[in-house]
Chain A
Amino acid sequence: MSETTVTPDRPVTVEETETAPGFIGVNVPRKEDRRLVQGEGVFVDDIKRHGMAYVHFVRSPYAHAAITRIDVSKAMEIDGVYGTLIGEEVAAETDPFFQIAPPPGGDLKDYALAVGKVRHVGEPVVAVAAATRELARDAAELVEVDYEPLETIVDPERASEPGAPQLHDEVPNNTIWQGNFDYGDYDAALAEADKVVRIKKLHFHRFSSTPLETSGAVVEYNRGTGQWTLHSNNQFPGFAIIMMAPALRVGMDKLRFVSQDIGGGFGNKICTHVQLVAMCLLARKLNRAVNWTEWRTDQHTANSHGNERVFLDVEVPVKADGTLLGFKARMIDDAGAYIRYEPLGCIIWAQVTPGVYRWRHIRVDFKQVCSNKSPCGPNRGYSRMQHLWFTERVIDIVAQELGLDPVEIRKKNYIRADEMPYETPNGCVYDSGDYERCLDEALKLIDYGSIEEKRRDAESRGKLLGVGIGSTLDSGTNNFGQSTLVNPELQFSGNNEVATVKLDIFGEIVVTLGTTPQGQSHETTAAQVVSDMLKVSPDDVNVRAGHDSYWNSHAGFSGTYASQFAVTGLGAVKGATEMLREQILKIGAAVLGAESTDEVELADGTVRRKDNPEAALPFMACGAIVNANNAVLPLELRDITLNCRYVYVPPHQLPDKERKYGNLTLTYANQIHACVVEVDPETGVYDIVEYGAVDDCGVRINPQIVEGQVQGATAQSIGAATHETFVYDEDGNLLTPNFYDYHVPHALDMPPMKTAYVESASPFTPLGAKGMGEGGGAGLSAVAAALQDALRGSGKPIVTTSSNPYHRVWELLQKPEESRQLVEVEER
């Protein structure tokens, strides 16, 4: 059992002896800020090269069509147009991307440009490179492409039915992957139940985090060495290189990934390897640097959407006292036209199979289909968010139908603090947490005690008031072994991240990370850990900005994704710093005439004798001796480099492929959100009038940074719950292709937001910290629940979708029976 504290008086530390005076748990100002507030960051489109070409993609206007002719000759006639790239060239010069899926999904062919056929609106068909952005666009207009339109499929439920249009010849019935998950004894649970609640259908909609900086790259090719340098904002270079090198038929070391500042990622910048291959081919073909900066409309139309998911034939056995025994459901995940990180979403939800509840008997039939929509990819809360929204919807529908209190049913069924670490029915181990306590804190934030009074007040103003709770997990440091549960042939497992820490000649402490931060403040938090351990100030620690796969701090899983930096990134930093500290102590002991390193210590930027602090060797002297004056050292110390590299590898094990069983991630941060809405029954317009978010991510290295990510993630989920949605018409046209139609929250849209935290240290991680940042999904559940609560006196409609803009609420008010038909209760 782990210790849980609420708002400790002083920073919580895991190893007290190592952290005094302590920068861990302190709001150290961010190292990144000084350049960013002055406009001196270096984002990818800020990079220029002599003679650089700008690339514009000619994109498909059809959702599904055969390409019958491509003619680039008119484009090539324009002065300043350097060249083009078409699908035929791509098919000749590259191999299709490696697929994570087993056959049949794994057999589909995916190239950097459309080859023979387009499968979604906005799919890149031709790339045009020219001297300016404007010229490239002009030339793209002159490229002639003839299409033969084909029948389109956009409905995930219909996609796998007989007779549906087929996207890929290799993938019958558009079915990428299908699998059964069966845990506990569901049939026994059903037999034991006093009541069974059935829900015919729930729907989680498409949206994405839409980072403000779109995707992009400046790619250079070195003919002499055959090596590409990709200045890009790809957020998972480890994955991109694994995908790209075989496609380009080169060794991995020929692809050098570099980034400094990245303008938000949220998972949406993981799958840019497709466009990056087109850039590599163009850079080589034209022998010049090429810039690709995605247009916003392209980012929305053809980059990476969050997975859409349908939950069908849901069955929930419940005991008379409100104990939930389990659930059964069919789930269909719509991956869009191509699978570029998928079908990992088919297993990643299983990290949080029972959500935060003590459900022991679970049966899921999970299917992933393709359709004529933008490909999906990881999006903040990836795959778990969909599933956790489902579990919360189930809880609130069951509560409403059985007349149970939403707070009490949660408290009754939440996994308890004294059960931690808790093994879920599918073998995941929740490391720590106190969900009930978080819920109490969240309810305090929205002044739940006086809610009935507020309800009457709202009614007196003609408004309907509703309260909603969202309980989610932000599982982090994933075990890539879970990929073998979707494809047993894969050879991926575990996880890793690298850091190097060195002491230079003039005493400068230099840290390199393998990560690709997009706002997560890695320079700052890494400096906090290093300075704590070396007894210096964070100002004395120079953390290199950004990522370079040619630094020796790159490993197979390097990148920034899946809520893990505080564990893997800082775990690597801690490991490397421990190595460096040992080396400094050895040098100090030798130079200061101590018998052993036990007689010396680090303090104030020196190594000194414990029995005589005056006898101190500054770090600068250590750096100088090892790097430039090492003949003074005894021979046995000459292997000391003061340049230490550490690879953090979490204690993961191989999961059981047959049973789909095992611990799929190392840490499970949790979030409990609560909100109050007021609905205008005449129009369906509603306001969120109170919002409280409680987050528990274990030891917080920098509380202000944690709170910032809690606020930001919450804003994204409120946006998704209320307005953000990628809507397609039946012909596969995206109706919300940019910020004009896709409304993200602006400053005036945000409700008053209060935050609090509970700190349950993880027993499994180097610093007691858990990965965090993806926990905002709770807002989707809280808003849905609050709306359902507000409307309970208006025909008791059920909120069945995660997308609830005003017109949807109006529909529920007008026709509550339509949603009620989806629910039934069997009393036994």
Chain B
Amino acid sequence: MTEPVRGLRIAVDVNGERHERDVEARRLLVHFLRDDLDLTGTHVGCDTGNCGACTVIVDGVALKSCMMLAVQADGSRIETVEGLAPDGELHPLQQAFSSFHALQCGYCTPGMLMSAKHLLDNNPEPTEGEIRRAIQGNICRCTGYVNIVEAIASAAKGGGK
């Protein structure tokens, strides 16, 4: 009987930088990002895939990085919150979140921003309903979402990307 493979060497592109690592087969993508690559901007808020704090964009798709194994991401291009302002100049969404007070503790914010970015990448002029649907997988316990929705709408009006 063959022993199952317990790990794999993977290569991923994260925010334009290539990383190669040996990872355990069971390592979640979020723990790979946080613990192996030290990209701690992506957060963990639950253990059931409900909260969305760990949302990243993998090959153009917004997904919860706690619901994907790191080995499944082999060869993919990943965007995390750390890539939104590469030169220190805030992304319009980041600026809008600050201007509209769309964050308090800031724990859900990275995931919320990535869901919003994915929305605006694909739908530059969303309606309020479309914005709410786009972030319905992201839980915020501080704001009641009012200012988050306004911030995303404002960023969209300003171009969003």
Q: Map CB proximity to B onto A186-209 as digits: 1 under 8 Å, 0 otherwise.
A: 000000000000000000000001
Residue numbers in A under 8 Å from B148 (CB-CB): 747
Residue numbers in A under 8 Å from B39 (CB-CB): 39
Residue numbers in A under 8 Å from B24 (CB-CB): 134
Instruction: Tell me the chain A residues, 115-140 only, with Cβ under 8 Å from chain B.
Output: 133-134
In the complex where A134-B27, A212-B45, A748-B133 touch, is A37 in contact with B141 (Cβ < 8 A)? no
Size category of the A interface is 35 or more
In the complex where A37-B113, A214-B45 touch, is A716 in contact with B104 (Cβ < 8 A)? no
* CB atoms of B44 and A739 under 8 A apart: no
Tell me if B77 is interfacial: C-beta within 8 Å of chain A. Answer: no
Which of A515-523, A565-573, A799-807 lies at the binding interface? A515-523
Residue numbers in A under 8 Å from B38 (CB-CB): 48
Q: Look across to chain A and name the residue whose beta carbon is closest to the beta carbon of B99.
A: A29
Tell me if A307 is interfacial: C-beta within 8 Å of chain B. Answer: no
In the complex where A43-B43, A134-B26 touch, is A712 in contact with B141 (Cβ < 8 A)? yes
* CB atoms of B81 and A39 under 8 A apart: yes
A476 → B minimal CB distance (Å): 18
* CB atoms of B139 and A212 under 8 A apart: yes
Which of A173-181, A260-268, A391-399 lies at the binding interface? A260-268
Residue of B43, B94, B135 near A37 (CB, 8 A) is B94
Residue numbers in A under 8 Å from B26 (CB-CB): 134
Instruction: Tell me the chain B residues, 95-114 only, with Cβ under 8 Å from chain A.
Output: 97-99, 101, 103-110, 113
Main secondary structure of the interface of B (DSSP, over half): loop
Main secondary structure of the interface of A (DSSP, over half): loop
A404 → B minimal CB distance (Å): 32
Residue numbers in B under 8 Å from A715 (CB-CB): 143-145
Q: Look across to chain B and name the residue whose beta carbon is closest to the beta carbon of A29.
A: B98
Tell me if B61 is interfacial: C-beta within 8 Å of chain A. Answer: no
* CB atoms of B84 and A750 under 8 A apart: no
Tell me if A709 is interfacial: C-beta within 8 Å of chain B. Answer: yes
In the complex where A214-B45, A748-B132, A753-B146 touch, is A36 in contact with B101 (Cβ < 8 A)? no
How long is the Cα–Cα vector from A489 to B132 in the complex, in angstroms?
53
Instruction: Tell me the chain A residues, 736-753 only, with Cβ under 8 Å from chain B.
Output: 738-740, 744-748, 750, 753
Tell me if B136 is interfacial: C-beta within 8 Å of chain A. Answer: yes
How long is the Cα–Cα vector from A40 to B146 in the complex, in angstroms?
24
Chain A-chain B contacts (Cβ-Cβ < 8 Å), number: 172
In the complex where A262-B105, A712-B141, A715-B143 touch, is A297 in contact with B47 (Cβ < 8 A)? yes
Q: Map CB proximity to B onto A618-637 as digits: 1 under 8 Å, 0 otherwise.
A: 00000000000000000000
Q: Look across to chain A and name the residue whose beta carbon is closest to the beta carbon of B93.
A: A37
How long is the Cα–Cα vector from A214 to B84 in the complex, in angstroms?
26
* CB atoms of A705 and B101 under 8 A apart: yes
Tell me if B37 is interfacial: C-beta within 8 Å of chain A. Answer: no
How long is the Cα–Cα vector from A739 to B47 in the complex, in angstroms?
8
B90 → A minimal CB distance (Å): 7
Tell me if A460 is interfacial: C-beta within 8 Å of chain B. Answer: no
Residue numbers in B under 8 Å from A264 (CB-CB): 104-105, 107, 141-142
Residue numbers in A under 8 Å from B45 (CB-CB): 212-214, 263, 296
Tell me if B124 is interfacial: C-beta within 8 Å of chain A. Answer: no
Tell me if A606 is interfacial: C-beta within 8 Å of chain B. Answer: no
How long is the Cα–Cα vector from A297 to B135 in the complex, in angstroms?
23
* CB atoms of B103 and A750 under 8 A apart: no
How long is the Cα–Cα vector from A247 to B41 in the complex, in angstroms?
36
Residue numbers in A under 8 Å from B14 (CB-CB): none
Residue of B34, B48, B144 near A712 (CB, 8 A) is B144
Tell me if A211 is interfacial: C-beta within 8 Å of chain B. Answer: yes
Residue numbers in A under 8 Å from B139 (CB-CB): 212, 739, 744, 746
Tell me if B154 is interfacial: C-beta within 8 Å of chain A. Answer: no
Residue of A48, A210, A297 near B141 (CB, 8 A) is A210
Residue of B80, B94, B109, B147 near A708 (CB, 8 A) is B147
* CB atoms of A37 and B90 under 8 A apart: yes
Residue of A43, A716, A738, A753 near B107 (CB, 8 A) is A43
How long is the Cα–Cα vector from A133 to B26 in the complex, in angstroms?
11
How long is the Cα–Cα vector from A807 to B81 in the complex, in angstroms?
40
Tell me if A704 is interfacial: C-beta within 8 Å of chain B. Answer: yes
Instruction: Tell me the chain B residues, 107-131 only, with Cβ under 8 Å from chain A.
Output: 107-110, 113, 131
* CB atoms of A708 and B143 under 8 A apart: yes
How long is the Cα–Cα vector from A43 to B107 in the complex, in angstroms?
8
B98 → A minimal CB distance (Å): 4
Residue of B31, B46, B144, B147 near A714 (CB, 8 A) is B144
Tell me if B51 is interfacial: C-beta within 8 Å of chain A. Answer: yes
Tell me if A46 is interfacial: C-beta within 8 Å of chain B. Answer: yes
Residue of A213, A705, A709 near B43 (CB, 8 A) is A213
How long is the Cα–Cα vector from A168 to B28 in the complex, in angstroms?
42
Residue numbers in B under 8 Å from A738 (CB-CB): 46-48, 50
15 contacts between A and B (CB under 8 A): A30-B101, A37-B103, A38-B90, A39-B39, A48-B38, A134-B26, A209-B141, A704-B101, A705-B101, A711-B147, A715-B144, A739-B48, A739-B51, A746-B137, A747-B138
Taking A37-B97, A212-B139, A745-B144 as known contacts, 15 extra A-B pairs with beta carbons closer than 8 A to each other, sorted by chain A number, are A32-B106, A33-B106, A37-B90, A37-B94, A211-B105, A211-B107, A212-B51, A263-B45, A264-B105, A518-B105, A519-B105, A708-B143, A712-B104, A747-B135, A753-B144
Residues of B whose CB lies within 8 Å of any CB of A are: 24, 26-27, 31, 34-35, 38-48, 50-51, 53, 80-82, 84-85, 90, 94, 97-99, 101, 103-110, 113, 131-133, 135-149
Q: Which 8 A-B pairs have the closest CB atoms?
A: A39-B41, A263-B107, A36-B106, A715-B144, A519-B105, A519-B104, A39-B81, A739-B50
